[in-house]
Structure 1
Amino acid sequence: MKDNITTTWLRAIDSFKDVPLDQLQWFIDRGTVLDLPSGNNLFSKGDQMPGPFVILSGKLMLSVPRGQELHEAGIFETGAIGGYLPFSRGKFAGVVADVVEDMTYLQLPLGEIDEMIRTQFDLTQALVHVMANRIREATAFEQQNEKMMALGKLSAGLAHELNNPAAAVVRGSVSLLQHLKAVPDVFRQVMSLGLDRTEADHLTDIILNALLRTAKPELSMMERSSLEDDLLDWLDDNNIAEAAEIAESLVDFGLGTEELDKLKKEFSATAFPAVLNFIKSNLITEKIVMDIHEASGRISDLVGAVKSFTHMDQGHGKQFADIHNGIRSTLKMLQFKIRNANVQVVENFDSTLPEINAMIGELNQVWTNLLDNALDAMEGQKNGKLVITTLRNKECVRVTISDNGPGIPEDVKSRIFDPFFTTKQIGKGTGLGLDVVMRIIKQHKGAVKVQSRPGQTDFIVEMPIGH
């Protein structure tokens, strides 16, 4: 097979088009032709990389391990160049290479690389260029994967956040429909009492005053239970049916036994139960409508947070904006994770800060990565506390994101901003989050630094106010 390989064939490969024929012949002479049937593994993650090779025929699939699964990263076909390349620091494989179609390839032994670097300049240069392209492609793949992982986390949390109010709207609408079916009967009961004008006006005033009361009571569970018990006792003493429903509705709108005593004096003993039932019916209707309004408002707020977070209704260039809006939108997007981890969030925001000139959508990626990392650091902690502080430092805005997690070990602190470096478990991070943070902040002519000790980690971002 080796006799069939020609310098002309190799030169047809785009990466080798400018390599002199004698250097391509050197590659052929020093190389070895190898065969590997489909289903075999060329190398796995952590294996020493084989020497530079060119695929003569067949296909090789590269996959990235993510947890217990392999995610396809690319296919190498005839003419593709792989293996360890000159000056690369990647001496050990970071991916898995499986043969998916019987493969024949020409491989240069690792021991020949030093001589190639000394004597075959153009060939070496061509392979270094392949390495540079490989790094760009790998970085782009990992950055895309990092974005998809971040999007997956946010989507899962957002779906959960939207599900609760959406379900509340559905439940409320069903309850309202059922309740409204009973309204005619309740109205018929009141009409049958033959109330005079004074009694009708008084009944209407009671309901309107309860519905228009702007300051609804904010009660603890114990306070609410105590008020309901008092009302239940009063209603039972007065032989009122459906006492539990009436008591619950009255407490919702701040009505107690004192109001019932006054109401009882205004109506006859015969009319009083029907009057209470009519009041209860109106209050329940109002309560259901209020619940639907609150739930739909939460949905609207979440949609607004998504819109603000993605900055999707505005251009993607720089513009002046309040930095706090992006931070608050990001916190809303992460609300499910915050609540699920029982983390206390403290906002020490300087409301006097001027707007900064920035690419808001990209800055939101910064806040997402830093806040998400802080939450991950406090995972499993009972007293997690996330503190966000903003202030002005001369002509810069400073944002400090602090957590009370275990801290960053000293031996890795200097590497946390390196691409692909991560302390997270496999499948939880790609090691590009802080690299993205650093790149975006530098793009804004700013700086990022970290201070960490057990129980306190601060990520400090500084950016010029206008640039």
Structure 2
Amino acid sequence: MPDRLEKLEEKITSTEEVLSAVSDLTFLVDRDTRVVQLWYRDVSALFIPPGEVRNRKLSELVPADLIEPLQRAIDELDRGQLAEAFEYQDLFTAGDDGARWFECRAMPTPNPDQFVLVISDVTERRRLRSESKALRFKLDRAQEELATFFETAPELLCIAGTDGRFKKLNRAWERLGYSDGELLQRPFIDFVHPDDVEPTLREIEALRSGRTTIQFKNRYRTKDGSYRTLSWNTTPDLESQLLYAAARDVTEMEDMEQQLAEAKALAKMGTWTFHQDFRRSKWCSQMREIIPDLFGSRDNLNERLLLNIHPHDRRELKSGLERSIRSGQPLNATCRVGCGNEFSWIELRAKAKWRSTGEFEGLVGTCQDVTERLQAEQSLQEERLKTLQVSKLASLGELSAGVAHEINNPLSIISANLKLLERYREQPERFQKKIEVLEKSCRRVSRIVRGLKRFSRSSAADARGFHRLSNIIAESVALVESRATRGGVEIRLNQEVDCKFFCNEIEIEQVLVNLMNNSIDALRGQPGAWLELCLTEQSEEVLLSVKDSGAGISKEFVNRLFEPFFTTKEVGSGTGLGLSICRGILKSHHASIRLNDSGPNTCFEIRLPKRLCEIEGTLES
């Protein structure tokens, strides 16, 4: 009996130790919720010391709002039901980290009049549960975002196996025209262009060894039979034998690059980059055609570039590059490549690149073979000069009748006075007067011939310089004066300013002669006909106008006046090149010509930029 009692006491002690270890507070209470026994590990949930707990009612030991749910749990146990555990917050035990939470469980005992109440501190468990819930929410959110990103990404994203089959595809693959099922049920190599199969298989072998793929390109067949070029970036996972890949459709980019390369080849243009030390550089393939001697070795490319430049242009190009680096301004230079008589012309454009720190990074630019263009421009200039000369000769043809009359008059005077000289040989005064008449007539003929000679010579022989506009006007009027007189047209001059203009004087003369000839042709036979040349100064321009008494030009012809070969004259009376040539000449002088149709008469206005004029000896800029 004592042994049995001793074992029972040991069992009770063991049970009490377990109860103390597994919970913060364990009460044995009677039906009136009076404490019969107490086991505890932590007494922070009690209002009074544990030594004073026995025979006290629970209402004296725990918060008041806990009594009702406790009593309800005991009633449920009394009815033979299983009481649910409940949690409560104890504001009186709040620490620095806030109020603590406790869980209360009510359990039956073999004695129907007694119950076990277990109160545990679940503050940490609630915190962990809350954190777990927040983490789960973040994880779910991240998974949703990842799924959304995967599905909506413009790139063709996929997960594939090293076995050569797709495992998962995003919606971007629909652009190839296939459904997911059609792509997933066949090896992906089946969709690759036949010419790209071998390179693709080699790339897959490299991925199986753990190497990452960067910008590998192959062509994929679409459902309509066409092919799209894809650029792949792929990362393998050797453990799962999966490939994580993103493909970008670069078909249009490839086409554009091909077109750009063809355009560069057609334009004979290449691009290049020099890095800071000029030892590293990048050249496109077109540069090989433009400067062949640059290729073969990348050593000292900057020195070899300069060595390929014609000796006469080398120093200027070098100083231009240095100036561009110092100032940050772009360089645009035209120079020769090659030596001796075997050379071509290139146009070199360059711009310095700078880091955000202000440090020089290098040069980037283009190089274009402009030999054919310059040759074409030279040919065009030669043809232009020929056209100008033809136009001048045509004008001379129109002037010829008047010029012949102008020369015949003084020649007749000379001939008649030569016969009279014999008669007045013995009369010195009358003899001298006849000599003066002869000299005057000779000077007149000489002036006419000199003017014709000046006007008829090629414009290429005359360099541009500052020429007085009043002199140019006078020379032009002298050429058409006789023709105007014969046509009954009075020429008036109205010069409010006298200035010099930087020009080829013969070409400006040609413009005025063309305009005056047109007026004379239009006014011939009209009573009271007049032609006026006005020279006035405006704020930014010097205005030279040629105005006549005509009624103007029909509006249906206004928009076509300056077109080549357009003329309002009768067939055979004009080439239709006059006004077109006038505009071309003035454009080359940075000037312009327009018809001013605001008045009742015909008026052409020539606008000369003031920056190219010297007014009263001062250059206006």
- Structure with greater strand percent: 2
Look at both structures and tell me which one has the larger radius of gyration over its CA atoms: 2
TM norm structure 1: 0.45
Larger RCO, structures 1/2 (Cα 8 Å, 6+ apart): 1
